[in-house]
Amino acid sequence: MSALGQIGELWQLVPVQRAGGGLLLAAFGLPIVGVVIVGLDIMPVRFAMMHVALLGIAVGQLVGLDPVLCALVACALAGAGVAPLARTADGLSGAMGLLMSLAIAAALLLLALSGVNANGAFALLWGSILAVRPADLAVLGALALAVPALFVWRRRDLALLLHDRELAQCSGVAVQRLTVLLLVLVAVAVAGAIRLTGALLVDALTLLPALAARRLGRSLVSITAWAVGIGVVVNVAGFLLSLAWDLPPGPVLVLAAGAVALVAHLIPERRTRSWRLPAASSAPSPH
Amino acid sequence: MVCRHGRLEAVQGVDLDVAPGERIALTGTNGSGKTTLLRAVLGLHRRVDGEILVGGRGTRTAAEWAWRRRACAWIPQRPAAGRFPLLAGELLASSGSPAEAAEAAGRLGVGMMADRPLSSLSGGQLQRMHLARAVGCVAAGAGVLLADEPTAALDFAGQEEAAELLTTLSVTLLVVTHDRAMAARCDRTWEMAAGRLREVS
pLDDT over threshold 80, residue A65: yes
pLDDT over threshold 50, residue A284: no
State how far the alpha carbon of B136 is from the alpha carbons of B31, B86, B169, in Å. 30, 17, 11
CB contact, 8 Å: B86 with chain A? yes
B119 to chain A, closest Cα gap in Å? 10
For A191-201, the pLDDT digits (tens) are 878 777 777 78
Residues on chain A touching B70 (C-beta within 8 angstroms) = 172
Average pLDDT over residues A61-86: 86
A161 to chain B, closest Cα gap in Å? 9
Average pLDDT over residues A138-142: 87
Coil, helix or strand for B28?
Answer: strand
Average pLDDT over residues A51-57: 87
Share of chain A above pLDDT 90, in %: 26
pLDDT by 10-residue block (mean), chain B, 201 residues: 71 83 90 87 84 84 88 84 84 92 92 90 91 94 91 89 89 91 90 83 70
CB contact, 8 Å: B119 with chain A? no
CB contact under 8 A, A163 and B70: no
CB contact, 8 Å: B143 with chain A? no
The fold for domain A3-265 equals ABC transporter involved in vitamin B12 uptake, BtuC (1.10.3470)
Q: In what order do the strands lie in the sheet with B188-193?
A: B72-75, B144-148, B172-176, B23-28, B188-193, B196-199
For A217-271, the pLDDT digits (tens) are 989 999 999 999 999 999 999 999 999 998 888 888 989 999 999 999 888 765 5
pLDDT over threshold 60, residue A287: no
Residues on chain A touching B121 (C-beta within 8 angstroms) = 275
pLDDT over threshold 50, residue A272: no
Q: Which residue has the higher pLDDT, A267 or A36?
A: A36
* Residue B22 is assigned to a structural domain of this protein: yes
* Residue B122 is assigned to a structural domain of this protein: no
**Considering chain A, what is the average pLDDT of its residues?**
84
DSSP string, chain A: --HHHHHHHHHTSHHHHHHHHHHHHHHHHHHHHHHHHHHHT-TTHHHHHHHHHHHHHHHHHHHTS-HHHHHHHHHHHHHHHHGGGGGSTTHHHHHHHHHHHHHHHHHHHHHHHHT--HHHHHHTT---GGG--HHHHHHHHHHHHHHHHHHHHTHHHHHHHHH-HHHHHHTT--HHHHHHHHHHHHHHHHHHHHHHH-HHHHHHHTHHHHHHHHHH-SSHHHHHHHHHHHHHHHHHHHHHHHHHTT--HHHHHHHHHHHHHHHHHHSPPPPPPPSSPPHHHHSPP--
* Residue B95 is assigned to a structural domain of this protein: no
pLDDT over threshold 90, residue A212: yes
* Residue B102 is assigned to a structural domain of this protein: no
Range of the domain at B6: 2-80+141-199
Q: Which residue has the higher pLDDT, A124 or A9?
A: A9
Nearest to A40 by CA among A1, A6, A90, A106: A90
Per-residue pLDDT, B62:
85
CB contact, 8 Å: B183 with chain A? no
Task: Give the nearest chain A residue to B112 (CA atoms).
Answer: A277
Count of C-beta atoms within a 10 Å radius of residue A91: 14
Task: Give the nearest chain B residue to A174 (CA atoms).
Answer: B66
Per-residue pLDDT, A89:
63
User: Does the model's pTM come out above 0.95?
Assistant: no
Cα–Cα distance measured from residue A79 to residue A176, given in angstroms and rounded to the nearest whole number: 13
Q: How confident is the model at residue A188 (pLDDT cuts 50, 70, 90)?
A: confident
Q: Which residue has the higher pLDDT, A217 or A119?
A: A217
Average pLDDT over residues A102-122: 81
A236 to chain B, closest Cα gap in Å? 28
> Which of B72, B83, B93 is nearest residue A163 as measured by Cβ atoms?
B83
Q: In what order do the strands lie in the sheet with B2-5?
A: B8-11, B2-5, B48-49
Residues on chain B touching A223 (C-beta within 8 angstroms) = 85
Cα–Cα distance measured from residue A226 to residue A33, given in angstroms and rounded to the nearest whole number: 13
Residues on chain A touching B109 (C-beta within 8 angstroms) = 277
Nearest to A206 by CA among A27, A20, A21, A23: A27
Per-residue pLDDT, B81:
62
Find out whether B84 and A163 touch, Cβ atoms under 8 Å: yes
Question: Domain with B66 in it: what CATH number?
Answer: 3.40.50.300
Q: How confident is the model at residue A129 (pLDDT cuts 50, 70, 90)?
A: confident
* Residue B43 is assigned to a structural domain of this protein: yes
pLDDT over threshold 70, residue A276: no
How many A×B Cβ pairs under 8 Å? 77
Cα–Cα distance measured from residue B145 to residue B98, given in angstroms and rounded to the nearest whole number: 17
Per-residue pLDDT, A269:
66
CB contact, 8 Å: A169 with chain B? yes
DSSP string, A102-122: HHHHHHHHHHHHHT--HHHHH
> Which of A39, A169, A277 is nearest residue B84 as measured by Cβ atoms?
A39
Residues on chain A touching B91 (C-beta within 8 angstroms) = 167
Coil, helix or strand for B94?
Answer: coil
Per-residue pLDDT, B80:
66
User: Worst-scoring range by mean pLDDT, A91-105, A121-135, B23-37?
Assistant: A121-135
CB contact, 8 Å: B108 with chain A? no
Coil, helix or strand for B103?
Answer: helix
* Residue B118 is assigned to a structural domain of this protein: no
Strand residues in chain B grouped as ranges (E): 2-5, 8-11, 23-28, 48-49, 72-75, 144-148, 172-176, 188-193, 196-199
Average pLDDT over residues A33-41: 90
A283 to chain B, closest Cα gap in Å? 13
Q: How many domains, in total, are found in chain B?
A: 1
Find out whether B72 and B140 touch, Cβ atoms under 8 Å: no
- Structural domain boundaries of chain A? 3-265
* Residue B186 is assigned to a structural domain of this protein: yes
